[in-house]
Structure 1
Amino acid sequence: MFQQRPHVRSTPRTPCRTRRRTAAAAGVLAVLVLVTACGGDDGRGAEATPSGSAAPAAGVVAPAKVEVIAGLTGCKVKIRTEADELREGVCHTRQGDYLITTFPQERLKETWLESARVYGGTYLVGMRWVVSAKPGVLEALRAKLGGTVRKLSGVGPRANAS
């Protein structure tokens, strides 16, 4: 009688989901650090104040895919985080550097923005995507992508306070 031996792994396997979550957490932390450095603040301390929702000339708002958004802005994107919860890519252009973050669900984008509120900054926000850059760069990108510019106030003492 033929018996089949059970298959035994020779090396332990780290679950892919755990690695993705670790990468996502590291990516979110890196984004928040970058946003703090690039966010800019005009001292008004506004709390999530949208500054209009200008659609681009074509009347279309960019879809939630990093490569497509980057293409619309004339950038060759470098993907730096790929996880279940978000994807993000970095763009370096003559008009400035910016970070494109996309989300598979709108609620994940809102959770990310709520976390970013602690650090403050200005963001261009669309359906399932966020672009992080200096305010002047965001206005130029808004003409191409649509979306709404949101200014989030930071928590704690201001760096420019006397």
Structure 2
Amino acid sequence: MRLTRPMLAVAGAVAALAVAGCGSGDSEAAAKVPVTATGSLESLAAKAKCKPDMQIDSDEVRQAICKTSDGKYVFATFATDRGQREWINDAKDYGGFYLVGRKWVAVGEDKVVKALQKTLGGEEEIGTNHAAHTGSHTG
């Protein structure tokens, strides 16, 4: 099954909404971050001690839900760096916390992403904060 770019954006947005929550706001420096892991979705999930529940399995993106003792997150791997960046950029509009490695991303609550970073390395990115959008509109 081949997914079009709009379908990938929708899949990314749904994934971000499914697991994104309010972060703790903790700005504590992360412990020593290991070298960023690489590999297939299954090998990365195994390093994170997660049995992936596959949601999307296409040529462009493979996406699964993972649950560990730290919490639940979406794990995705990509065929290309460009596909990964487009997915992240689209999904970040919906908020959330992203752990980004080479051709992979994990999306979840801040505490989950920080815990995962201690195992898989990677760089944390933060989606758009919608906390100020309380539903009251001015002007």
Which category of TM-score, normalised to the shorter sequence, fits these structures?
Answer: 0.7 to 0.9
- Distance change in 2, residues 1:83/1:154 (3 Å): farther
Q: Runs of at least 4 residues of structure 1 off by over 6 A?
A: none
Match of 1:55 in 2: 33
On the 8 A contact 1:64/1:103 being kept in 2, the answer is: no
On the 8 A contact 1:54/1:142 being kept in 2, the answer is: no
Cα distance in structure 2, aligned partners of 1:54 and 1:108 = 29
Q: Unpaired segments of 5 or more residues in structure 1?
A: 1-18, 45-50
On the 8 A contact 2:53/2:64 being kept in 1, the answer is: yes
RMSD of the alignment, in Å?
3.0
Matched, 1:124 2:99: yes
Aligned residues: 133
Matched, 1:20 2:2: yes
On the 8 A contact 1:123/1:133 being kept in 2, the answer is: yes
On the 8 A contact 1:117/1:154 being kept in 2, the answer is: no
Q: Unpaired segments of 5 or more residues in structure 2?
A: none
Instruction: Give 3-state SS (helix, strand or coil) of 2:49's partner.
Output: coil
Match of 1:110 in 2: 85
TM-score (norm 1): 0.69
- Distance change in 2, residues 1:112/1:41 (3 Å): same
TM-score (norm 2): 0.79
Which residue identity does 1:153 align to in structure 2?
T
Deviation track 1:43-101 (CA, whole Å, cap 9, x = no partner) reads 98xxxxxx879532xxx311141101100111111222111211111112222111110
- Distance change in 2, residues 1:154/1:112 (3 Å): farther
Instruction: Give 3-state SS (helix, strand or coil) of 1:35's partner.
Output: helix
Instruction: Give 3-state SS (helix, strand or coil) of 1:120's partner.
Output: coil
On the 8 A contact 2:20/2:107 being kept in 1, the answer is: yes
Cα distance in structure 1, aligned partners of 2:93 and 2:2 = 24
Shift in Å at residue 34 of structure 1?
A: 3.2
